[in-house]
Chains A and B, each alone.
Chain A
Amino acid sequence: MFLVKLLNTLLMIVVALFITGVINRTRAVMAGRKGIRFFQHVYNVRLLLRKGAVYSPTTTILFRIAPCVYLGAAMVAFLFIPIADLEPVLSFRGDIIFVAYLLALTRVAIVLAALDTGSSFEGMGAAREALYGALVEPALMMGLATLALFCGYSSFAEIFSTAQELNTNLTIVMLLLAYVFVIIMIIEAGRIPVDDPKTHLELTMIHEVMCLDYSGVDLAMIQITGWLKNAIFAMIAANAVSVAFCFHWQFTVPLAILGTGITIGIVESFRARNKLSRNTTYIITIVALSALVLLTGFLLNLNIEI
């Protein structure tokens, strides 16, 4: 039991560390470049961890504790996510709601910290993050509701360990859900088309601009949180696919890494970012899609004979 939980956590960490590497490598290959080292992002964070931090004199204690809350909330949420039929460290009835609000807590922490700096850039970034966060939340909640509705449980561990035999209805809904969760991951992680993590232009940034005043260990914590959040969403999406096809954890792990990593890498190579004002429409479309999936799930669950 303990070993299974340990294995689950270790594999989740592997997923968290690998996804960014796969995205970077995919982008490099698509650009015809050799690309940076696969684990360059890890080396960068290791470097940050050895550095001291600089704090602006206009900031308060809020700015200092925000990275801890940010990382802490994401770490707790991370422990609730199972890999297919493996058992996560923590689990209780209704934890899907708990995880969703832990993720919302991370957003509150970073938005408040950004406002705390008093910088006009960070204020704009915080406003954008709050808006898009509020808009994407219904999509996440309805996605989770569909999971609960279809599987009849309200904790991740139970939902994803119930893969029985192949069932067309289940497969359809789960594949649609996986798509929704990948898009939510793109929005949450601030990747193209919603945000561009590579940009150097403060005026166009959403997530990056909120971290401009952070340095050293604090910045490292924010980046690690980014990996953890990526892993959470990638794993939920991969789990949905696994449920659809009755995969076990051996398949789910590479699926989470490669599926999301390569998808994001390709999307980022071959399309432009949205105009910022069009992000709203884009996210609402995903919410609508999520509502449609919920409805589909509900109808299919009635098992009406045709």
Chain B
Amino acid sequence: MNLYKITDNRASAVAIADIPVVDYVDLYNDLKERMTDVRYHVAHYFATEIERGLKFYMIILDDQSGEVLITSFVPDYYAEGLASLTAIHPQFHPFEREMWELYGVEFTHHPWLKPLRFAHNRRNKESTMDSYPFYKIEGDDLHEVNVGPIHAGIIEPGAFRFICMGEEVLHLEIALGYQHRGVEDEMVRIQNRLRQSVISESIAGDTAVGHTTAYAEVIERLAHCNVGASLQRERAIALELERIAMHLADTGALATDIGFQLYQVACEALRTVTINTTQAWCGNRFGKSMIRPMGSNHPLTEAKIETIRKNVTDVRRRYNEVREDILEAQTLLARFEQCGLVPKAEMYRIGGVGMAARSSGALRDIRTTHPWGHYATNITHNAITQHDGDVMSRLATRMEEVLQSADYILAMLDGYKPQGDIAQPNYEPELDKESLSFALVEGWRGEICHVALTDSEGNICKYKIKDPSLHNWLALAIAVRSEGISDFPINNKSFNLSYCGHDL
């Protein structure tokens, strides 16, 4: 029996009837073997309420062939519970925790089912942030340090509980779930596509373009809409601009955290140029209102192309100087090298994605493995990887990606003449009925996955979002083990994960 519906990241939505409904035991046995191969990783795994009970959907990515494997099952879970996949493949942990929290699905042999984000519709209302079961180690030589959930400055809420021996961190547990935004429910409650686009922009404010692109792709795949090469190209430019801006900001922030004023101010200045370029294009520095389903309100003009070309060339040149200096700054290297190691095998085990995974040598880049839009047709993306998996690797990945993205943008702008063939956004498209549509987008942080299910009237009845942070928070906790607690900030900054992307 075929366990999966096989598709890819360019195809239209899949009819729910085409997705095999399998027996969980068969799926479990298959995944037990399959996921030991690092070419596979889980992109999404969620449950949705049906007439009686729950229906589970799972999306597995094959990084080698570019295939996307979709499957579903309807277990009689009240009877015996489901055998936990986390127990054998830790990368499933956030998904199983979420389903346990929302619907009370019992995953047997799960190492420790902890609440994930304290959603308003969680099953057990007794479970609150105050009763979060932190991991504990007893001992006279140990001390606990709790940072947060309220932090200084403009940082979002999240509690970090360190168990230390002197300055050395033995264990870090990160407890998120302080925001209760209910984004996924809002995406279903509000069927207005314009308002849904605006919500998508706020899923993670620093990845506005990435998440809106994923949303727009989901809608377009449900509407069988081909938006055309020009719009695909402009979306790719916007996505790469966002990548440059965020990587620049993080380079500066890493310098700030070690008190290195020179690179801090240099990168802050460059970031301002970059986000001002985005503002000159769409009126918002973070690319809000840039991406809309089926069209665009801000098609590029000759003048805008010239501005982007000029600024990106300038930023690329100046940043390259900063990069070369950084690679020779001994005091900086002394801080970043061999600090916060996450080995490649560990990254694969926990299902790490994106830039952080690539820094450990794990090739996880949707632009390479599951290209979509402009990346599928015009760019052969060579993902940048490092092998050390330390803070310096993550900085090095950023620095090289800035140059690479700048080159992509300049190449995309070269010889590009606006044809006036970009449509206005269409907020009322006819959507496929009873279908599942997903979109994978490589945001600056990593793999963004949006999934929508439609009902018999073509309304969205389930919307699931996955920000790359969901996987990578665990990588941060692993990175700081046996490091000095005072090196936690640079590790944290080297991942720069999203709190709100996690607390949907």
Contacts and interface: CB of A to CB of B under 8 A. Distances in A.
Contacts of B147: 202-203
B186 interface: no
Contact of A276 (B261, B265, B484): B484
A271 B331 contact: yes
Interface in B467-504: 484-489
A76 B488 CA distance: 39
A204 interface: yes
Nearest to A276: B486
Interface string A265-276: 000111111111
A88 to B, nearest CB: 35
Contacts of B167: 124, 276-277
Contact of A203 (B144, B153, B329, B489): B489
Contacts of A27: 261
Interface stretch (A89-97, A141-149, A157-165, A193-201): A193-201
A275 B335 contact: yes
Interface in A161-204: 192-193, 196, 198-204
Given A120-B143, A120-B146, A272 B265 contact: no
B262 interface: yes
B259 A192 contact: yes
A31 B257 contact: no
B36 to A, nearest CB: 37
Interface in A42-73: none
Give the size category of A's interface with B.
Answer: 20 to 34
Interface in B265-307: 265
Given A193-B331, A198-B259, A275 B143 contact: no
B130 to A, nearest CB: 19
B282 to A, nearest CB: 29
A30 interface: yes
Given A120-B145, A271-B331, A272-B258, A200 B265 contact: no
B50 interface: no
B334 A124 contact: no
Interface string B223-260: 00000000000000000000000000000000101111
A275 B336 CA distance: 9
Interface string B327-363: 0010110110001000000000000000000000000
Contacts of A199: 257, 259
A203 B331 contact: no
Given A120-B143, A272-B334, A31 B489 contact: no
Contacts of A278: 334
Given A193-B331, A203-B486, A203-B488, A271 B260 contact: yes
Given A123-B143, A124-B145, A200-B152, A273 B261 contact: no
Contacts of B484: 275-277
A38 interface: no
Give the size category of B's interface with A.
Answer: 20 to 34
Contact of B261 (A200, A269, A277): A269
Nearest to A199: B259
A120 B143 CA distance: 8
A276 B167 CA distance: 9
User: Which of A120, A200, A275: most chain B CB closer than 10 A?
Assistant: A275
Interface in B319-333: 329, 331-332
A30 B485 CA distance: 30
Contacts of B144: 120
Interface in A231-275: 268-275
A274 B261 CA distance: 14
Interface in A120-164: 120-121, 123-124
Contacts of B488: 203
User: Which of B167, B332, B339, B486: most chain A CB closer than 10 A?
Assistant: B486
B485 A272 contact: no
A34 interface: no
A201 B260 CA distance: 14
A268 B485 contact: no
A269 B145 contact: no
A257 B146 CA distance: 41
Contacts of A271: 260, 331
Given A31-B265, A199-B259, A273 B335 contact: yes
A270 B334 CA distance: 14
A204 B257 CA distance: 9
A273 B258 CA distance: 5
A271 B144 CA distance: 32
A31 B146 contact: no
Contacts of B487: 275-276
B485 A124 contact: yes
Given A33-B265, A276-B484, A121 B145 contact: yes
Contacts of B485: 124, 203
A269 B262 contact: yes
Nearest to A212: B152
* 8 interchain residue pairs of minimum CB distance: A196-B259, A272-B331, A272-B258, A276-B486, A273-B259, A201-B489, A31-B265, A272-B260
8 contacts: A120-B143, A121-B145, A196-B259, A203-B145, A203-B489, A270-B262, A274-B331, A275-B487
Interface of A: 27, 30-33, 120-121, 123-124, 192-193, 196, 198-204, 268-278
Given A272-B258, A273-B258, A275-B486, 13 more contacts: A30-B261, A120-B145, A124-B145, A199-B259, A201-B257, A201-B489, A203-B486, A204-B257, A270-B262, A273-B260, A274-B331, A275-B339, A278-B334
